[in-house]
Structures are given as structure tokens and as C-alpha cells.
Amino acid sequence: MNVKRMLWGLPLALFAAASTGCSLLKVAVATGDPLSKEEMNVRTMTRGFYYDMAGEVARAADSIIGASDRLEVRTAAVRWKIRATRAGVTAAMQSIPDVAMADLWILCRRMNEGFAATPDSLLFGAQSDIARETAARLDRRAARLAGRLLPAERYALMERFVDEFMRDNPVTESDGADNTTLAWLEFLRENGVEPAYAVGSIAEVLADVNDRVSGQTQQLSNSVGWSKDLIEMRLAQDSLRDRIGAQLDSLDRNFRRMVAVAEHLPEISDRVLEELNEQATQLLWTMDVSVDNAFSGFDRQRMELQSYVSREREALVEQLRTTGEDLLSTAFDAVPGLVGRVLLYVVLALAVLLGGPFALGFWLGGVRQRAKLRKHPEA
């Protein structure tokens, strides 16, 4: 962004200087803050380490290919060097030097831990130790390089960041790459370090772009060559070559049959048409009979279903009628008993309502009479 701003500002400044014609006017064009010596060393050495890493991985993979005669092992070795170099160039060519070093270190650590945890049968067979030794050596070299280039406090932070990142992001692929720009900047802020990175001068920016293009171009060229080797390995297998030869022979036989058919095409066409006519007639007759049978079957099933529904409906109506009669008979049979109980309750209620006060008055009169006799016994 600073470079684009500088390039836009340069024509405006030149125009202002030419239009004024004042000798006292000074025009200064900003060239961007250059990278510090430490940052330049980190960027240069990190990219140099990438080229060493790519060379070591390629040599190790070639050793595996030369020592094994199994197709799956050889193709796995070719895929390893393609993926590892692709991930390495992506990590090393980043614009922020610290992030590039951290990503490359994490890549080497991921390869080392992934190869150590993967059994030989899923790695490179009997030649798996070659890859494991290479990955372990690259992991150690990345740690030593960071220790030499970074100040002690910065190196301690990066080492802790790599350990925590590997712990929080378990190994999924032995050569997978991670972009840790945001994670690294947040980690620095959490530890009280405010990140500040210069874009660099115009010359440094142009050199950075040239390095990126050169690294990506070289890696792409290597990947194309290695992909060609992968295809040649597959084609060189006897089984594949035999299958291709068998398919070519089959195509040749089929072509010869087609030529023979074409030579006798008129006679064959007449015979084919006759047979086709007979088969079509037979097919139509069969379809007609099948359709008639199907519709007759549908009609029979419909009649049976209708008869069944009618029978069930009559049975249900008869059952409802019988149930209604039983309910009415039961209700009428229960009416006399119910009326008798109601009358009994009414009589009992009248007896209680009328006889109760009379009995109570009679008892109270007797009580009063006895009390009066106790007061006036002479009476």
C-alpha cells in the first residue's frame, strides 16, 4: 500500500515542482521505511533455509525412490517432495520476516512429528527412516536458525508460540502448511509486544517481489517435472502396460468386426429388420396381453374390495343396532328400580324434614316439664 501511495505521489510532486518554477521549493519523495538489519537477516536466512530444505527433501525422496521397487512407496515419495516444497515456498516467501520463519519452523516441526507418529506401512515402507531422519534434521536446523537470528527474548517468544501452536493444532498431514500471521501478531500483543513491521524501501519491495516470483516459479517448474516422473512411474508398471495393450488389442478386434459387418451390411440389414419386426410384433402382443390381464385383475380386485366393504358395513350396522337395543332394554329394566330408590329417598327426606322437628319439640317439651316439676314439687 505504501508503494502504491509513493508511485501516485511521485508524478504529483514532479508536476508541482515544474509548475512553480521557484528555486526555493524542495520536493522530497518518500521511499518507505527500510527494513532493519535484523529483519533483513531474518528474511534472507529464512528464504535461504527454504532452498536448503527443498533440496534435502528432494534428495531424501530420490533416495527412497531409488531404494524401493514398490509403486506406492515411490509415488508417495514424489508426492512428499511436491507438497513439502509447495508448503515451504508459501511459508518462506511471506512479507513479514518473523511470520515466515515461524511458519517454516512449524512446517518442519509438523513433518517431524507426523513422520514419527506414522507407521512404516503408511509412510514409505522400509525406507521410512530416511524421511524421518531428514524431517528431524530440518526441525533442529530451523530451531538453531531462529536462535541465531533472533534476540533472546524474541526467540523465547517464538519457541513458545511454535510449541503452543503445535499443541493447539494437532498434526493432520505430515507436510501441511499453516499461515500464522494473525496468530503470531495476537500472541505478541498478549505478551505485551506491539508488532510494528516496515514495508521496506522501493528497492527492498522490488527485491521481495522478485524473490517471491523466482521461488514460486522454481517450485512450479520442479512440481511439473516431478508430476511427469509420477506419470512415468505409473506407465512403467508391467500390469498397467499389459492392461493398455489388452485394451488396444480389444479395440483392434472390435474394429475388424465393424469392418466385416460393413462389408456385408445390405444382407445383414435385411435380416436384422426381419428379426426386429418379428420381435417388435411379439413384444407388442405380449404387452397387449399383459395390459388386458392387468386391467382384468384390477377389475376383479375392485369388485372383491367393494364386496368386502359392503359386508363390513352391513355387519357394523347390525352390530350398532344390536348394541342400541341392548342399551335401551337395559335402561328400561333399570327404570323401576331407579324410581323405587328415588321414592324411598323422597319419603326418607320427608320423614326427616317433618318428623325431626316434631320429635325435637316433643323432647324439648318433656325436658321443660321435668324442669318445672323439679322447681315446684308441691304443684
User: What tens digit of pLDDT does each residue of 107-135 get?
Assistant: 999 999 989 988 988 889 999 999 999 99
Residue 317 maps to a domain:
no
255 CB burial (10 A radius; 0-12, 13-18, 19+): exposed
pLDDT over threshold 80, residue 188? yes
Cα distances (angstroms) measured from residue 280 to each of 48, 210, 277? 78, 74, 5
Helix (H, G, I), strand (E, B) or coil at 61: helix
pLDDT over threshold 80, residue 290? no
Across residues 184-192, what is the average pLDDT?
Answer: 89
Whole-number pLDDT of residue 263: 62
* Structural domain that includes position 203: 37-171+179-268
Across residues 210-224, what is the average pLDDT?
Answer: 80
Say what the pTM is: 0.55
State the CB neighbour count (10 A cutoff) for residue 47. 23
pLDDT over threshold 90, residue 277? no
Sequence-distant contacts of 230-239: CB under 8 A, at least 24 apart: 230/75, 230/78, 230/79, 233/71, 233/74, 233/75, 233/78, 234/71, 234/75, 237/71
- What's the domain count of the chain? 1
Are the CB atoms for 92 and 215 separated by under 8 Å? yes
pLDDT-wise least confident of 87-96, 152-161, 346-355: 346-355
Residue 307 maps to a domain:
no
Whole-number pLDDT of residue 262: 61
pLDDT over threshold 60, residue 81? yes
Across residues 100-109, what is the average pLDDT?
Answer: 92
Residue 73 maps to a domain:
yes
pLDDT over threshold 80, residue 299? no
DSSP state of 150: S
Residue 335 maps to a domain:
no
Helix spans in 150-180 (H) = 152-168
Across residues 133-146, what is the average pLDDT?
Answer: 94
Residue 294 maps to a domain:
no
19 band by pLDDT with thresholds 50, 70 and 90 = very low
Percent of all residues in the chain with a pLDDT value above 70, rounded to a whole number: 79
pLDDT over threshold 50, residue 13? no
Across residues 166-191, what is the average pLDDT?
Answer: 76
Whole-number pLDDT of residue 275: 77
347 band by pLDDT with thresholds 50, 70 and 90 = confident
More confident residue, 78 or 179: 78
Beta strands in the chain (DSSP E): none
Question: Tell me, what amino acid is at 307?
Answer: S
Provide CB contacts within 8 A for 219, sequence distance 6+: 54, 85, 86, 89
Across residues 70-98, what is the average pLDDT?
Answer: 90
Q: Which phi and psi (to 5°) does residue 366 adopt?
A: -65, -40
222 band by pLDDT with thresholds 50, 70 and 90 = confident
pLDDT over threshold 70, residue 278? yes
Whole-number pLDDT of residue 255: 63
Question: Tell me, what amino acid is at 57?
Answer: V
State the CB neighbour count (10 A cutoff) for residue 323. 10
Cα separation of 80 and 371, whole Å? 127
Across residues 47-74, what is the average pLDDT?
Answer: 92
